Structure 1
Amino acid sequence: MPGPVPESWPGLIGMELNTAVEIISRERPDVRIVRVLPPGEAPSPPPRDQVRVIIYNNVGPVPNTWIVVAPAPYIG
């Protein structure tokens, strides 16, 4: 991948979850697993030899939507 490779996405906080996943997938095609967690939950250990991103989310302002919340999505 040319240029800097992002390892976190603070600009995605407040964005709709599916849109955030699309952006991360475009910027980091090597990420094969996205772990979506509710606020405050600790992620399990990462799978061996795989790159994953952790995204925390909560219910959005519109019914049946989810938004990205802090901490910012990150590789981990």
Structure 2
Amino acid sequence: MPGPVPQSWPDLIGTELNAAVQIIAQERPDVRIVRVLPPGEAPSPPPTDQVRVVLYNDVGPVPDTWMVVAPAPYIG
């Protein structure tokens, strides 16, 4: 990949979950797993043979929407 390879996405906090997943997939096509968690939940150990992004989400302001919340999505 040309240019710097993102390791985290702080600018995606507050973004609708599906839109955030699409942005990460465009910026990091090597990512194979996106682990979506509710606020405060600890992720399971990362797989050894795949690149994974951890995203935290919560209910959005519009019914049936989910938004990315802090901490920022990260590789891990």
Instruction: Give the CA RMSD over aligned residues.
Output: 0.4
* Higher relative strand content: 2
SS at match of 1:32: strand
TM-score by length of 2: 0.99
Q: Residue 51 of structure 1 aligns with which residue?
A: 51
Q: Report the secondary structure of 1:21's partner residue.
A: helix
Match of 1:63 in 2: 63
Residue in structure 2 matched with residue 42 of structure 1 by the alignment: 42
Give the paired residue count. 76
Unaligned runs of 5+ in 1: none
Secondary structure of 2:44 counterpart: coil
* TM-score, length-scaled by structure 1: 0.99
Percent identical across equivalent pairs?
Answer: 83
CA distance in 2, matches of 1:27, 1:13: 16
Superposed displacement of residue 41, structure 1: 0.2
Deviations 1:19-67 (A, max 9, x none): 0000000000000000000000000001121100000000000000000
5+ long unaligned stretches in structure 2? none
How many Å separate the matches in 2 of 1:50 and 1:32? Answer: 6
In structure 1, distance between residues paired with 2:36 and 2:23: 15
